[in-house]
Amino acid sequence: MKKLVFASVLFMSVFFAQAQVSINVNIGTPPSWGPQGYDDSRYYYLPDIDVYYDIDQSLFIYENSGKWTSEKRLPSRYRNYDLYSGYKVVLTDYKGNSPYNYHTKHRKAYPKGYVGKAQKNRGEKPVKSNNGKGHNKSDNRGNNNDRKQSDKKHDHNHSNGNHR
């Protein structure tokens, strides 16, 4: 009987330990456009567009007709906003579920155009391709290859070590 109880306890402890490990996988993974060095933070405030981003839920939080809304995508009015270039204020001092409760404070401290210390994004900005956008690969219009080739012919080594 003791062996059966021991085996049951051992099995349950292994099972629950395994379940606990798998629960934490991929929760709260910061986006590639997020700033490096803030893995323990949950929210960004984007002052240029007055929007919050919830890292844990992968949701944008913004005010819409007087109510706070959470969506996977930015509202249509900000779809052209470049998340890689825009400044992200990392809210390191807030751990709750409603960062907008401090919206007045955030908006005053970080007005539109605010830029704090330099940030490096976690990942590279994806490159958009022009496949099917009316450009033929053999068409050199808008292509700088010809100019680059002529620049190479005229490239000079200046004594100060700078190159064109």
What pLDDT is attached to residue 4? 57
Q: Write out the two tokens for 128.
A: 């958009």
Pick from 122, 99, 118, 119: which is nearest to 31 by CA? 122
Q: Give the contacts of 34 (CB within 8 A, at least 6 positions apart).
A: 44, 53, 55, 88, 121, 122
Q: What is the pLDDT along the chain (164 residues), one digit of tens a residue?
A: 666 555 565 555 555 544 444 344 445 789 999 999 888 899 999 999 999 999 999 999 999 999 999 999 999 999 999 999 999 999 998 989 999 999 999 999 999 999 999 999 999 998 887 665 544 444 444 444 443 343 433 344 444 444 43
DSSP-assigned letter for residue 30: P
The neighbouring-strand residues paired with 21 are none
- Using only the alpha carbons of the chain, give its radius of gyration: 25
- 42 contacts 71 by C-beta, under 8 angstroms: no
Q: Are 34 and 85 in contact (CB under 8 A)?
A: no
**Phi-psi region at 162: left, alpha or beta (left = phi > 0; alpha = psi -120 to 50):** beta
Amino acid 154: pLDDT: 39
Residue whose pair of structure tokens reads 């949950």 in the numeric block: 42
pLDDT of residue 5: 56
pTM higher than the cut 0.75: no
pLDDT computed for residue 93 by the predictor: 86
Domain boundaries defined on the chain = 43-109
The pLDDT, as a whole number, for residue 58 is 96
Whole-Å CA distances, 72 to 23, 36, 55, 77, 79: 21, 21, 11, 14, 12
